[in-house]
Structure 1
Amino acid sequence: MADDDAPDFGVPVGLFQDLEDLKAQVTALTAQVRTLTSAADTGLDEASAEQEPDAADEEEEAGEEWRFPPFILLLDPPVYDDELRALIEWVEGLLVPGYLAEPSADARWCHLWFEHPVAVARLHACWLAWQELTNPATCGYTGPSVWHRDHLDPALRELRGSTGPFAGCTKSEHQIDHRLPGLVPSAWAMEER
């Protein structure tokens, strides 16, 4: 096929240049990864040849890797209690005075919110997001706005709504088990007729 007969796909010349630049960058990054990987492997082999790490060192390293707490519902009692205390301080010190107006039928709140597992889960997730999104080093200066829009506002709507975890609680009465689900008919079980 002659050059005159070649199909014209209408691809701009700049796109080909961009692709070539990307290929060059990928090649350079691949070479860097190989260099770093081989250096890390070599350093690891030398370190293991000098001495074997003991179990205490491995536990310290694992502890250092875990900088932020996991989701509260996954914690066992001693760690859960500490995390809950810290969450209570945050909720009572920041959320309640700063964001919660007087409870009403449309905007409920329970002063014993920490006895409602759904409330604890939602507020803990909101708190974890707050820890990350109020630090300009991790999220820039728009983090607080993102936290309000994506985390606080939806959490408060769910918690304080008429069908939320505080639906059975009033100013004078606290009720924990008002939302326990009843039996749900199974789609897999056929009724005998």
Structure 2
Amino acid sequence: MADEHDGEDPALDVPVTLFEDVEDLKAAVARLTAQLEARTGSGGEEPGEASADDEAAAGTEAPAAEEEEEWKYPPFILLLDPPEYDAELRGLVEWVEGVLVPGYLAEPSSDARWCHLWFEHPVAIARLHAAWLAWQECTDPASCGYTGPSVWHRDHLDPALRELRGSTGPFAGCVKGEHALAHRLPSVVPSAWTHAED
């Protein structure tokens, strides 16, 4: 039986635009591959090829627990130790003195106390830091939309200032520009742990 094609390739009727489309697709794949490699830092391995790192890791077991993810926002200041505490306190001082004091605190009075050495009052540091963390989140439209600042005033700032500036707050002994820290030191609170040892 004679070969119908006689060793020649059959003539295909393929439009030229199909070849252009294929070339465009190849260029797009090459561009996306380059972007992927740039973002992931992977070498130029072909799909299906194992890198040297993958081969080395194949014989080892994965760690039992993955490392904890970094905090997205700073943790509460009372949970920090130096030098992280000191860095967070510096940021808090900048926010309180740059935003809160000029924008929200009127002249101190017997009904609305304020201590210029507020950063020496641990309760004030805790409440102001909590308000600052909330401010960072609530003033970001991506996380709270456009109502975030209103929510921050209502739910965070107003209650914090009421507690700080009230007659029983941490500044209760700081009157007429005089700073008094010792007046608010707490006494030892009874604990179930200490009674269990008796």
TM-score normalised by L of structure 2 = 0.62
Name the aligned partner's letter for residue 108 of structure 1: R
Q: Secondary structure at the match of 2:99?
A: helix
Report what 1:164 is aligned to.
Answer: 169
Identity across aligned pairs (percent)? 77
**Which residue does the alignment assign to 1:153?**
158
What does residue 113 of structure 2 align with? 108
Counterpart-to-counterpart distance in 2, 1:184 and 1:67: 34
User: What residue in structure 2 maps to residue 93 of structure 1?
Assistant: 98
In terms of Rg, which structure is larger? 2
Supply the distance in 2 between the matched residues of 1:185 and 1:67 (Cα, whole angstroms). 36
Aligned CA distance change for structure 1 residues 169 and 75 (closer, same or farther; 3 Å): same
Aligned residues: 137
CA RMSD of aligned residues (A): 2.8
Q: Which residue of 2 aligns with 1:121?
A: 126
Structure 1: segments with no counterpart, 5+ residues:
1-45, 53-57
Shift, 1:67, TM fit: 2.5
Residue 138 of structure 1 corresponds to which residue in structure 2?
A: 143
Counterpart of 2:70 in structure 1 is 65
Aligned equivalents of 1:186 and 1:88: distance in 2?
34
Q: Per-residue CA shift, 1:20-47, capped at 9, x if unaligned?
A: xxxxxxxxxxxxxxxxxxxxxxxxxx89
In structure 2, the CA distance between the partners of 1:161 and 1:64, relative to structure 1 (3 Å rule), is: same
Q: Identify, as 1 or 2, the structure richer in helix.
A: 1
8 A contact 1:110–1:171 mirrored in 2: no
SS across alignment from 2:174:
coil
Q: Which runs of 5+ in 2 are unaligned?
A: 1-49, 58-62
User: What per-residue deviation string (whole Å, max 9, x for no partner) do you get for residues 61-87 of structure 1?
Assistant: 968732311000000010100000000
| Counterpart AA for 1:74 | L
- The Cα shift of 1:174 comes to 0.4
Q: Deviations over 1:101-132 (max 9, x none)?
A: 00000000000000000000000000000000
- How many Å separate the matches in 1 of 2:189 and 2:104? 36
Alignment partner, residue 83 of structure 1: 88
Describe the shift of the 1:119–1:51 C-alpha distance in structure 2 as closer, same or farther (beyond 3 A): farther
Post-superposition shift, 1:179?
1.3
The runs of 4+ residues in structure 1 deviating greater than 4 Å are: 46-49, 61-64, 183-189
- The worse-fitting range, judged by mean Cα deviation, of 157-166 and 178-187 is 178-187
One-letter amino acid matched to 2:81 = D
Letter in 2 for 1:121: A
